[in-house]
């Protein structure tokens, strides 16, 4: 079938017969299914139906199958001779793996809210450069939304080199790779020495960056401890404490806007986005680039009350994780789930320099699937 997912060791077919619903199949282990004729025609893997190099589908399933094919088993595999002369061959293991009754498996873990005393996974830099270490880091990132690489070299652009093992850098109006340090005439609070309350980056974008990586090159200044809090955990706490507040924050779009001399980027969206099951999709909590609250007057007090409660939950000791980032360490976090911030630091007490970049979550999931084939 020209697939990258192994299937050749699946059981052989012992029976295949036409029914009014399609082709009924049975395997050596007793598993059974019935596959519709259009599904079988749609999944033919011959070179006329699938591109031989890219494996992309060429066949377009727009018409119902009017006449059933001739069905045969050859060496335990399914062969169909269609009435128009087309022939489709299906490996028994491939069909077994993709039968509707089979449980779908994935190398990509589901997001797991933090628990009490949560600590991020720590991966040594040299281990990260191995398939096993990279797989462990990717798994932790996609599961926990936060992971730490330690004992890295103190060289410029190492954050870019590590990120590019995963995928292309996600560029924003701050560039593809940015420096976080105090500087004159800043256009963002991160480039000052002030404390930064918990936030996500760039909620004013239609698609905020997914994964942020921050690599510490210098941190000799007093203060500046890093802060993190899990949006998935806090949303559950808000749901338990005040479900009406969660409904307001997840159903009421507000405006976010960033402006400087060359950019004016704005977006209207709720602070919290949930899926149909009530699970967190993304947070857009960033108080300093929240634009004027443009809501009906009768909704404003309730919105402010819900917002204040969410803010207090995020900034409570029960939900915050705090530590000092050391030179040679790289923290990475899910920017649309895990809020980050820092304590105020004294720029006169020593140098502080971090380099950062962003990655798309799709690239992390893709890389993990590739590594899972062989690791």
Please state whether beta strands 146-150 and 121-124 pair in parallel, antiparallel, or not at all (unpaired).
Answer: parallel
Long-range contacts of 287-294 (CB under 8 A, 24+ apart): 287/197, 287/199, 287/311, 288/189, 288/199, 289/203, 289/204, 289/256, 289/257, 289/258, 290/254, 290/255, 290/256, 291/254, 291/255, 291/256, 291/257, 291/266, 292/255, 293/254, 293/255, 294/254, 294/255
| Helix (H) / strand (E) containing 303 | helix 297-314
Does residue 43 carry a pLDDT above 50? Answer: yes
Give residue 148's pLDDT band: very low, low, confident or very high (50, 70, 90).
very high
Domains and CATH numbers, the chain: 13-98 (3.30.2020.30), 121-372 (3.60.130.10)
The residue that leads in pLDDT, 373 or 371, is 371
User: Residue 160 in contact with residue 357, Cβ under 8 Å?
Assistant: yes
| Whole-number pLDDT of residue 374 | 82
Residue pLDDT, tens place only, 261-281:
999 999 999 999 999 999 999
What is the pLDDT, as a whole number, of residue 326?
97
Residue 53 and residue 41 in contact, taking contact as beta carbons nearer than 8 Å: no
Structure confidence at residue 4 (pLDDT): 73
**What is the DSSP code string of 278-294?**
S-EEEE---GGGB----
Question: pLDDT at residue 284 above 50?
Answer: yes
Q: For the chain, give the mean pLDDT.
A: 95
Q: Is the pLDDT of residue 182 over 80?
A: no
CA–CA separation, 15 and 23 (whole Å): 10
Average pLDDT over residues 249-269: 96
Percent of the chain with pLDDT over 70: 97
What average pLDDT does range 33-43 have in this prediction?
98
**Any idea which of 4-18, 87-101, 224-238, 286-300 has the lowest mean pLDDT?**
4-18
Sorting pLDDT into bands at 50, 70 and 90, what band is 347? confident
Express each pLDDT in 116-134 by its tens digit: 999 999 999 999 999 999 9
149 — pLDDT class (breaks 50, 70, 90): very high
Confidence of residue 189 (pLDDT cuts 50, 70, 90): low
Residue 179's pLDDT band (cuts 50, 70, 90): very high
Average pLDDT over residues 94-99: 96
Whether the model pTM is above 0.85? yes
Q: Do the Cβ atoms of 129 and 149 come closer than 8 Å? A: no
Report the C-alpha gap between 197 and 287 in whole angstroms: 8
Q: What percent of the chain has pLDDT over 90?
A: 88
Q: What is the pLDDT of residue 2?
A: 53
Q: State the pLDDT at residue 1.
A: 43
pLDDT tens digits, residue range 2-30?
Answer: 567 788 899 999 999 999 999 999 999 99
Rounded to whole angstroms, the Cα distance separating 256 from 287 reads 9
């Amino acid at each position: 079938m020209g697939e990258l997912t192994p299937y050749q060791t699946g059981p052989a077919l012992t029976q295949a017969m036409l029914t009014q619903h399609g082709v009924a199949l049975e395997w050596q282990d007793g598993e059974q299914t019935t596959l519709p004729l259009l599904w079988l025609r749609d999944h033919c893997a011959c070179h006329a139906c699938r591109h031989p190099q890219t494996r992309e589908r060429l066949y377009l399933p727009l018409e119902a199958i009017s006449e059933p094919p001739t069905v045969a088993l050859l060496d335990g595999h399914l062969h169909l001779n269609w009435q128009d002369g087309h022939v489709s061959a299906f490996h028994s293991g491939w069909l077994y793996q993709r039968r509707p009754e089979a449980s779908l498996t994935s190398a990509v873990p589901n997001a797991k809210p933090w628990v009490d005393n949560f600590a991020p996974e720590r991966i040594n830099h040299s281990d990260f450069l191995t398939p096993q270490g990279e797989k462990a880091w990717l798994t932790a990132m996609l599961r926990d939304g936060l992971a730490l690489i330690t004992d890295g070299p103190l060289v410029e652009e190492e954050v870019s080199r590590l990120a590019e093992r995963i995928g292309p850098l996600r560029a924003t109006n701050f560039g593809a790779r940015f420096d976080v340090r105090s500087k004159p005439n800043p256009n963002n609070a991160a480039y000052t020495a002030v404390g930064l309350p918990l936030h996500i980056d760039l909620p004013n974008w239609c698609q905020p960056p997914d994964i942020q990586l921050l690599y510490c090159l210098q941190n000799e200044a007093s203060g500046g401890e890093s802060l993190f809090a899990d949006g998935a955990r806090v949303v559950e706490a808000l749901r338990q404490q005040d479900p009406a507040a969660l409904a307001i924050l997840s159903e009421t779009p507000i405006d976010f806007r960033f402006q400087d001399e060359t950019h004016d980027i704005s977006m209207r969206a709720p602070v919290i986005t949930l899926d149909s099951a009530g699970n967190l999709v993304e947070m857009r909590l960033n108080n300093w680039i929240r634009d004027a609250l443009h809501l009906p007057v009768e909704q404003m007090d309730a919105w402010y009350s819900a917002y204040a409660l969410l803010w207090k939950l995020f900034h409570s000791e029960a939900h915050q994780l705090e530590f000092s980032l050391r030179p040679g360490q790289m923290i990475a976090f899910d920017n649309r789930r895990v809020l980050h911030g820092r304590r105020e630091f004294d720029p006169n007490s020593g140098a502080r320099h971090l380099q950062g970049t962003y990655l798309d979550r799709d690239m992390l999931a893709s890389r993990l699937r590739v590594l899972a084939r062989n690791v």
